[in-house]
Amino acid sequence: MQNSIAPSAAAGVATAQCGHLISVIQSVQATTHADAADALALIMAPESGFDVDQKNRLASAIDTKLMGVQGKVVSESKTQTHVHLEHYYTATLWTRHYSHCDVVSLLESIAEFLVGTLGIRTHDEMVRRDAVAIATTARGMDLTPDEAYNYVEKMRQMMEIAMDTIDGFRGPMSYPADPQSFIAAYPNAYAPDNGPVASKLEHRALLFRKRQTPCRSNHGLLMQNQSSRRKTGKQLPGLKSEQSASEVVYKYILGHMSASSANALPSNVTDMFRKAEG
C-alpha cells in the first residue's frame, strides 16, 4: 500500500503553505534580485505543489517586497529590473535561440526584443546577465566565467545600440512575474500573433547558469578564476587553465581530452594524485 496524500488534503497543505510563505516574505527586512529570482524559480517549479493562483500571489508578494525594499535605490538609479525574462519570450525568439545563427546575432535579437517589445531602456545589469544565461543554457554552451562575462559585456553593447536606434515606450521599473499582468498594463507591447509562451528551459538548469554567469555585481567568480590562472603552471594545448583538477580528470577518463599518460596532465592534477597517494 502506497503512502499518499489525498488531493483535497494536498490542496489544503498548499493553501496553508502559501499563506505562511506570504507572511514570511512580508516580514523580510531586505532582499536582492538574485535571491528573489532563486525563490521564484522554486515557487514556479511544477513540483512546488502550488496552483497558478497561489504562484501568482507569491510572485506578487515578492515583487512588492522588492519594490518596497529597493524602491529608494530604483528611484535614484532609475534602472529597470526584470527577473522573469524567460517567461516573457515569444515563440519567435525561442526559435531564434535554437537556430543556427551565431551567438552575437542572437544577442542582437534579444536586445531588440527587450528594448522594442518590453520597453527595457534603462536596465539593471542583472537583466543582461539573465539574457545571456538564457541564451547559453538554451544552446547548451559550456563557458568559462571569462567567456560568459564577455557575452554579458557584448549584451550591454547590443542593448545600447538598440536603445539608440529603436523608438518606443518605457516599461515598468520592476516587471511582474506573470507576463499577462504586463500585457494588461501595456496592451500594445506584443504583436497580436506573437505573445509570450512558456519557458523552454528546465528551471534548475537556468538557475544554475545564472549563478555561474559573472557581471559586475557578482564578479567574484571571475576574480577567483583570474587568480587561479595566475597560479597555474604550463597547460596542455587547448586546455582551459581555469578548469579544476577534478574537471580535467573527468574529461580525461571520458576521452574528451588527450594526453600521453596521466603524468602528462596539468600539474594541479598530478598534485592531486600525489596527495591522494600520501
**47 occurs within a structural domain:** yes
For residues 72 and 105, state if they share a domain: no
For residues 20 and 115, state if they share a domain: no
Helix residue spans in the chain (DSSP H): 7-27, 33-44, 52-77, 91-97, 103-116, 125-138, 145-165, 179-185, 203-212, 220-231, 245-254, 267-277
Phi, psi dihedrals of residue 123, rounded to the nearest 5°: -95, 155
Instruction: Give the count of beta carbons closer than 10 Å to the beta carbon of residue 20.
Output: 10
**1 occurs within a structural domain:** no
**In the numeric block, which cell numbers belong to residue 219?**
564578479
Provide the domain limits for residue 58: 9-77
What local confidence, expressed as pLDDT, does residue 238 receive?
Answer: 38
pTM of the model: 0.57
C-alpha neighbours within 13 Å on the C-beta side of residue 127: 23
What local confidence, expressed as pLDDT, does residue 73 receive?
Answer: 44
For residues 184 and 110, state if they share a domain: yes
Query: How many separate domains does the chain show?
Result: 3
For residues 119 and 182, state if they share a domain: yes
For residues 63 and 93, state if they share a domain: no
Cβ-contact 171, 80 below 8 angstroms: yes
**2 occurs within a structural domain:** no
What local confidence, expressed as pLDDT, does residue 262 receive?
Answer: 52
Cβ-contact 88, 118 below 8 angstroms: yes
Cβ-contact 189, 117 below 8 angstroms: yes
**262 occurs within a structural domain:** yes
For residues 122 and 194, state if they share a domain: yes
What local confidence, expressed as pLDDT, does residue 217 receive?
Answer: 54
The low-confidence residues of the chain, meaning pLDDT below 70, are: 1-8, 29-34, 63-77, 217-278
**31 occurs within a structural domain:** yes
